[in-house]
Structure 1
């Protein structure tokens, strides 16, 4: 099982469903009333089940965490997924550079930030 995680700033209610529907089949995700609670959904990619989880308020109140889990996904890395999301939603997207491991200190951790200024490694705050 693989997973990808990105953080979407100021997520518009149906933007993530529209974006995912252009890459996945049979997307079932109720995000039209995305508030403070997590939303879960499912989709398919190459006949493989994909779990979709949205967590509002992650990484600060303005970001929503999107986690995709499945045997086969349309993107190879968090950064590939973030690039696709940024092109589709035109809002700031952040993701891990991929080298952080659970339990490691995060004080100086750098994140990819994709926005109108381009792609940059930056400290979250």
Structure 2
């Protein structure tokens, strides 16, 4: 089972499903309203189920956390998923560079930030 996690800044209703429809064989996700604490959906990639979880208001309320889980996903890494989201949505996307473990100091943690300035490793704040 693979999981991908990205953070999308200032996500508007409908943007997520519009982007995911281009990459999944099937998609069931109601993101017409983002005023709920969590949205769940499902899709298929290469005929395999994909679980979709969206947490609007994550990381300081301006970001939505997207988690995709499945044995087959359209992207091989968080960064590849973030690149696809940035290209389609043209709004800031962040993801972990990988290797973070529970208990690691958050102050030292760097994140990929993808926006109009390019791709940069930055501290979250």
User: The TM-score by the shorter chain falls in which range?
Assistant: over 0.9
Matching of residue 66 in structure 1 with residue 61 in structure 2: no
The total of aligned residue pairs comes to: 125
Matching of residue 52 in structure 1 with residue 74 in structure 2: no
How far off its partner does 1:9 sit? 0.1
Q: Which residue of 1 aligns with 2:5?
A: 5
Matching of residue 87 in structure 1 with residue 95 in structure 2: no
SS in 2 for 1:107: helix
Q: Gapped runs of 5+ residues in structure 2? A: none
Matching of residue 110 in structure 1 with residue 110 in structure 2: yes
Q: Gapped runs of 5+ residues in structure 1? A: none
Moved >6 Å (runs of 4+): none
Q: In 2, Cα distance between the equivalents of 1:79 and 1:107?
A: 21
How far off its partner does 1:37 sit? 1.5
SS in 1 for 2:103: coil
Q: TM-score, normalised by structure 1?
A: 0.98
Q: In 1, Cα distance between the equivalents of 2:60 and 2:93?
A: 13
Q: In 2, Cα distance between the equivalents of 1:54 and 1:79?
A: 17
Q: TM-score, normalised by structure 2?
A: 0.98
RMSD: 0.7
**CA offsets, 1:39-89, max 9 Å, x none?**
000000001000000001111110000000000101010000000000000
Q: Which residue of 1 aligns with 2:38?
A: 38
How far off its partner does 1:36 sit? 3.8
